[in-house]
Amino acid sequence: MEVSTRNYLIVTGGYWAFTVTDGAIRMLVVLYFHLLGYSPFQVAMLFLFYELFGVITNLVGGWLGARIGLNRTMHIGMGLQVVALAMLTVPDAWLSVAYVMAAQALSGIAKDLNKMSAKASVKALTGVGGESRLFKYVAVLTGSKNALKGAGFFVGAALLEAIGFRGALAVLAGMLTVVLIATALSLPEGVGKMKAKPKFTQVFSNTPAINWLSAARFFLFGARDVWFVVGLPVFLYSVLGWSFSQVGGFLAAWVIGYGVVQAAAPKLLRRSRGGHGPGGGAARLGALALAVVPAGIALGLKQGWSPEAVLIGGLVLFGVLFAINSAVHSYLILAYSDFDKVSLNVGFYYMANAGGRLVGTLLSGWVFQTHGLEGCLWWSAAFVLAAALLSIKLPEVGPRKEPAAAGA
């Protein structure tokens, strides 16, 4: 096995392990604090800092990765997640809203450090092997992550039932500690590290394609969360009468299916000749196709069609198209980036991603409360249309350049 493939598999394995803990801790917090008597609003507030600090972390994390290396920022993220898990093992009397928000803030920092590091490492570790190879590697990494996050929901719930809240946290923290040590001993030093120490002002990209792509990413993920985070689960429970387990199981299955489609995106899309991956045209067409889906679901609900049939069918189509759009974006940020600036660009891009999630989450609650699920769906369609318009400026992808130096 060639070294670049081996290193890619090590990064992917570490990312998988972290992702399982990320999904599990979310499910543990939701279920356990519901059992403690927290109101739905209080439970939602526990995740506010998780999303907010994701925006900050992606901005700073890319700069940090360029200075100290992506392998180190990835391991810092793992270490912070272990600390966040350990923080929640204290007695119930300590688990105030402020304390748990602080633990979730730490978990949010850890998650985005790990995600930024893993995805940026793909560019540095795979070397030059054609754009289709890069697209395939990025799609597998991203798609498998989303599938495993859905699996993490099940892991968290199963551990909670089998060994309790604190036992589950201890198992997750122990598993991640072992993975941290193993990957730290296996990966080369200095992955993604720039030879010249970048200034903090360099976190803001001066490449037009990356700025346009980041703006499109903001609206793409805002379009998902504006109806998926609050509006959809509350509608399924309160309007359609689904149980908590039905709602949770359905959303977990959707996330897993979304991840599978994302990993398969290179096979679902026709790649251009010469080994090139998709370009700006694929991002534009994908967003335009996606915008039709939430609008169609909203019209179907307004017409009085069976809400379960409309939502389930619409969600399947939305998941497939959204996964392909996301995979194309995740590939383009690497394809547009130079080898020595990949961590800075990926950090800036995922800052926009986290900002879209944060705005979408906040809008989801407010719009659902004032205009119902149909209102959330129209906001989603508008956000995707904005992403399509911003994608007009995205160029096609040219041949990849050799990295300046090994480990640069």
Is 325 part of any domain?
yes
Total domains in the fold of the chain: 1
Determine phi and psi for 264, rounding to 5 degrees: -90, 0
CATH classification at residue 132: 1.20.1250.20
Give me the percent of the chain exceeding a pLDDT of 70: 81
Among 54-68, 249-263, 288-302, 344-358, which is the least confidently predicted range?
54-68
User: CB of 172 within 8 A of CB of 85?
Assistant: yes
Mean per-residue pLDDT, 70-79: 86
Q: What does the pLDDT read at residue 37?
A: 79
Q: What does the pLDDT read at residue 405?
A: 34
- Kindly report the pTM of this predicted structure: 0.72
Q: What does the pLDDT read at residue 399?
A: 54
Q: What does the pLDDT read at residue 403?
A: 40
Q: How confident is the model at residue 44 (pLDDT cuts 50, 70, 90)?
A: low
For residue 71, pLDDT beyond 70: yes
Is 234 part of any domain?
yes
What tens digit of pLDDT does each residue of 175-214 get?
999 999 998 888 776 554 555 555 555 555 667 888 999 9
- Report CA-CA distances (Å) from 57 to 107, 109, 386: 11, 6, 25
Quote the domain boundaries for residue 84: 3-191+201-393
Summary mean pLDDT of the chain: 81
Is 402 part of any domain?
no
Q: What does the pLDDT read at residue 365?
A: 76
Question: Measured between alpha carbons, how far is 62 from 78 in angstroms, rounded to an integer?
Answer: 16
- Report CA-CA distances (Å) from 395 to 97, 119, 259: 46, 21, 26
Is 59 part of any domain?
yes
What tens digit of pLDDT does each residue of 217-233 get?
999 999 998 888 778 88
What tens digit of pLDDT does each residue of 111-160 get?
888 877 777 776 665 554 455 566 677 777 777 777 788 788 788 888 88
Residues contacting 67, CB < 8 A, separation 6+: 193, 194, 197, 198
Q: What does the pLDDT read at residue 126?
A: 57
The closest of 25, 161, 162, 54 to 114, measured between CA atoms, is 54
Q: What does the pLDDT read at residue 195?
A: 53
Residue 107: Cβ within 10 Å count: 28
Please give the residue that has the higher pLDDT: either 396 or 247: 396
The HSE-up count of residue 336 (CA atoms within 13 Å, CB side) is 28
The closest of 20, 271, 273, 1 to 136, measured between CA atoms, is 271
Is 83 part of any domain?
yes
Among 46-55, 66-75, 95-104, 398-407, which is the least confidently predicted range?
398-407
Is 108 part of any domain?
yes
